[in-house]
Amino acid sequence: MCGRKLLLLSVVVSVGLLVSGCFFTMPWERTGNQGGSTLLSLGAKILGIAGGTGSFQDLNPDDLQLLVDTLNDAGVTNIPAVSDNVAQAGVDVLAANNIGTIEDIDRVVQAAEQDPDSLVIPDSVNEALVAEVEALIEGLAEADFSDIAAAF
């Protein structure tokens, strides 16, 4: 019986460490540089377990990036990969519009359809757009167009 208790305790401690992120060093540049995120921590936040509240208000930018990636991988959505700037802007929009649940998203969308000015757009959204356009222009400037025919 003592062996079973030790095994159960080991499993509980391991799951706790995984959920808290202690087993992961976050080597992912894209989803580990703005608060960090793993599928376990994201799930805990969204489902309201292991310290999560079940609110989108708990998400950090890395969580938002991982959520979009996961939904895309599952075939639920087809949203382009979310950059750090856009993820931060997304989190700011959630906070500015008090969006914590799916129902809140529906509420905000319906209100914006009736009155577009009801949607709060933080300054970070404009900053993210400018940063994305700058990255696009820089990428085009660095591109080697000599073999463009090979791309088609």
**What pLDDT, in 10s, does the model give residues 95-147?**
999 998 889 989 999 999 999 999 999 999 899 888 888 888 888 788 777 76
What pTM does this model have? 0.69
| Domain-located, residue 78 | yes
User: 87: part of which helix (H) or strand (E)?
Assistant: helix 84-96
Tokens found for residue 13: 């401690």
pLDDT score of 32:
72
| Domain-located, residue 119 | yes
The Cα 32–Cα 62 span in angstroms is: 6
pLDDT score of 8:
43
What is the Cα 13 distance to its own chain's centre?
Answer: 26
Tokens found for residue 94: 């959630």
- Residue 98: which domain range? 2-143
| Domain-located, residue 149 | no
CA-angle at 147, arms to 140 and 137, nearest 5°: 0
pLDDT score of 138:
84
| Domain-located, residue 150 | no
Q: What is the chain's length?
A: 152
| Domain-located, residue 108 | yes
